[in-house]
C-alpha cells in the first residue's frame, strides 16, 4: 500500500503522482490493477453519484460510506477523503468528522481553504491526521466565487494564494491540491515546497501529480466539459476498456504528457 512517505519520495525523485476520484469498490479494484498511485474519495460524489448541482449537500456519513467501499476494493493506492461542506467549521466538529472518515479507511483528509485553516491543521496533525489543503478554485465556496472561475490569474492574486499555501504548510499540511490556477502558478507552488506533494487539477503539468474526476476522464460527463479534462476512454476498447483508460492516465501523467497546454490555464503573472 502506498503511503504518504512514498508520495514524498516520488516528489524527491521527480516521479509524478497519478490520482483519480473514486467512490465504489469495483472502480477502486480497476484502479488497483492499473496501479493508480492515489485515490481521492471526493465530495464531487454529490454531483456525479447523487445528482446534485453542487457538492454542498454531501454529508460526513456519505464520505465515510464511500471511503469504506473504496478501501475494501483497493489495497494499493493512497486514499484521501474530503471533509464536506461545514464539516470543519469548529475544532470539535473537525476532530469528530476526521475520526469518522479515517476509521472508514482514509489515510488523509482533504479540506478547502487558506491561512484561516491553520488552527484546524495543527490540531489534526497533532492528533495523527495528515491533511491535504485544497486551494485555488474550491468548489465548497462556489457561491462566494460567483461560479467556477480560474483563480490566481494576476500577480497579486497569485501571491495571496502562495501566502495561503505557506501558512497551511507552516501549520503542518502534508499535501496541497491546486484547482484551476495558471500553469505558471502551479509550477511556482510545487517548487516553493520541496517536501510537500502538490497535486493539480487544471494547474499545469509542473505540479507533482494530477487528479481528475473519474467520470470526467471516462467521458461520462454530461453537458459542459472543463478545459482541464481529457477523455482517456476514446482510444480504449474491449472488456478491460475502463482499466486500460486508468492505465493510460497513469502512464501519461508519469510521462508528463498530460496535461498539455490545451488543458492548462494562463494568467498575467
Choosing from 35, 92, 112, 179, the catalytic residue is 179
DSSP helix/strand/coil, 82: strand
| Gap between the Cα atoms of 4 and 176, Å rounded | 13
HEC per residue, 126-192: HCCCCEEEEEECCHHHHHHHCCCCCCCCEHHHHHHHHHHHHHHHHHCCCEEEEECCEHHHHHHHHHH
Give yes or no for a contact between 191 and 198, defined as CB atoms under 8 angstroms apart: no
What would the grid cell of residue 36 be?
493508480
Tell me if 27 sits within 8 A of 74, measured CB to CB: no
Mark whether 92 is an active-site residue. no
Q: Give the distance from CA 244 to its chain's centroid.
A: 21
Look at residues 225, 219, 228 and name the one whose alpha carbon lies nearest to residue 186. 228
Q: CA dihedral defined by 60, 64, 70, 72, rounded to 10 degrees?
A: 180
| Strand (E) or helix (H) holding 245 | helix 241-254
How many angstroms separate the CA atoms of 167 and 209, rounded?
A: 21
Q: Are 85 and 56 a contacting pair, CB within 8 Å?
A: yes
Residue whose C-alpha cell is 495561503: 164
Residues acting as catalytic residues: 179
Amino acid at each position: 500500500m502506498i503511503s504518504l512517505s512514498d508520495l514524498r519520495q516520488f516528489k524527491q525523485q521527480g516521479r509524478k503522482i497519478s490520482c483519480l476520484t473514486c467512490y465504489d469498490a469495483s472502480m477502486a479494484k480497476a484502479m488497483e490493477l492499473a496501479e493508480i498511485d492515489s485515490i481521492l474519495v471526493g465530495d464531487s460524489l454529490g454531483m456525479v453519484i447523487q445528482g446534485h448541482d453542487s457538492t454542498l449537500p454531501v454529508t460526513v456519513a456519505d464520505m465515510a460510506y464511500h471511503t469504506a467501499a473504496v478501501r475494501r476494493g483497493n489495497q494499493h493506492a493512497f486514499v484521501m477523503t474530503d471533509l464536506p461542506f461545514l464539516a470543519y467549521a469548529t475544532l470539535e466538529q473537525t476532530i469528530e468528522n476526521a475520526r469518522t472518515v479515517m476509521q472508514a479507511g482514509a489515510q488523509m483528509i482533504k479540506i478547502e481553504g487558506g491561512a484561516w485553516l491553520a488552527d484546524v491543521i495543527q490540531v489534526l496533525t497533532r492528533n495523527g491526521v495528515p491533511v491535504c489543503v485544497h486551494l485555488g478554485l474550491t468548489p465548497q465556496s462556489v457561491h462566494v466565487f460567483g461560479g467556477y472561475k480560474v483563480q490566481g490569474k494576476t500577480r497579486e492574486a497569485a501571491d495571496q494564494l502562495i501566502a495561503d499555501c505557506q501558512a497551511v504548510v507552516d501549520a503542518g499540511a502534508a499535501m496541497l491540491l491546486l484547482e484551476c490556477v495558471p500553469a505558471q502558478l502551479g509550477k511556482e507552488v510545487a517548487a516553493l515546497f520541496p517536501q510537500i506533494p502538490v497535486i493539480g487539477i487544471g494547474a499545469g503539468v509542473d505540479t507533482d501529480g494530477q487528479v481528475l474526476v473519474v467520470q470526467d476522464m471516462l467521458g461520462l460527463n454530461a453537458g459542459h466539459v472543463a478545459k482541464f479534462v481529457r477523455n482517456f476512454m476514446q482510444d480504449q476498447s474491449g472488456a478491460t476498456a475502463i482499466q486500460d483508460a486508468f492505465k493510460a492516465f497513469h502512464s501519461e501523467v508519469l510521462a508528463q504528457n498530460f496535461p498539455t497546454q490545451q488543458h492548462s490555464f494562463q494568467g498575467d503573472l
